[in-house]
């Protein structure tokens, strides 16, 4: 994993931080890979977590904002970004809310890794939906809590 997409990572960081020196860019690349390894280990850990554990690891501020929607069985759409450990956020939401959670994602090209991620995401009750089937699935839902994860791309917009 140490060299995974290294040129892309360095290029993206260089473009995001135009004012950084080569040495600072290299430090950011190193920090990114440290984060990526930590995140992968946390995904593996999530496979063995008991229901109370995600709740201890993730703190929500103002979780009562969901209560009104849950009581009324009203569907919700939560938009998130890939920051910190998104996987543990999903697990904690799955445990905290007594409401079905559907996750929209872009399947990974690496099939074994995709299966691992799907299993991890579904381990506490969430349902994973491929992004190309999302619109149809969401329209069928009633009284669900939708978590929408925008597929990442390295294309320039």
Domain co-membership, 15 together with 84: no
Domain that holds residue 136: 52-149
Contact of 99 with 145, CB cutoff 8 Å: yes
> Sheet containing 145-149: which strands, arranged edge to edge?
76-80, 145-149, 101-105, 127-130
Q: What is the pLDDT of residues 43-98, one digit of tens each?
A: 888 888 887 888 788 888 888 888 888 888 777 777 777 667 778 888 888 887 76
The interaxial angle of helices 86-96 and 22-46, nearest 10 deg, is: 30
User: What is the pLDDT at residue 22?
Assistant: 96
Could you tell me if residue 155 is inside a domain? no
Same-domain check for residues 139 and 82: yes
Tokens of 69: 């929607």
Query: How many domains, the chain?
Result: 2
Quote the tokens at residue 40. 């992968």
- Looking at the structure, do residues 102 and 131 belong to the same domain, yes or no? yes
What is the structure's pLDDT at 30?
93
Dist. CA 30–CA 23, nearest whole Å: 11
Q: Are 27 and 100 in a shared domain?
A: no
Domain match, 89 and 23 both: no
- Do 95 and 124 share a structural domain? yes
Report the predicted TM-score, pTM, of the whole model to 2 decimal places: 0.68
Percent of the chain with pLDDT over 90: 19
Residue at 157 is within a domain: no
Structural domain includes residue 154: no
Residue 84 lies in a domain: yes
What's the rounded Cα separation, in Å, for the pair 36 and 30?
Answer: 10
In a domain, 109, yes or no: yes
Confidence at residue 152, expressed as pLDDT on a 0 to 100 scale = 52
26 with 61, same domain?
no
Per the model's pLDDT, the better-predicted residue between 113 and 149 turns out to be 113
User: Is the domain of 112 the same as that of 141?
Assistant: yes
């Amino acid at each position: 994993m140490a060299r995974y997409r290294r040129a892309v990572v360095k290029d993206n960081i260089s473009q995001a931080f135009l004012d950084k020196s080569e040495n600072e860019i290299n430090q950011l690349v190193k920090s990114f890979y440290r984060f990526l390894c930590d995140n992968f280990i946390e995904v593996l850990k999530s496979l063995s977590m008991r229901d109370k554990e995600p709740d201890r690891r993730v703190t929500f501020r103002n979780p009562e904002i969901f209560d009104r929607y849950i009581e009324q069985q009203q569907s919700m759409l939560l938009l998130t970004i890939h920051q910190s450990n998104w996987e543990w956020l999903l697990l904690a939401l799955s445990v905290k809310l007594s409401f079905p959670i559907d996750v929209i994602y872009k399947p990974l090209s690496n099939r074994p890794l995709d299966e691992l991620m799907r299993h991890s995401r579904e381990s506490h009750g969430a349902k994973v939906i491929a992004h190309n089937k999302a619109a149809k699935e969401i329209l069928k839902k009633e009284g669900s809590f939708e978590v929408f994860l925008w597929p990442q791309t390295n294309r320039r917009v």
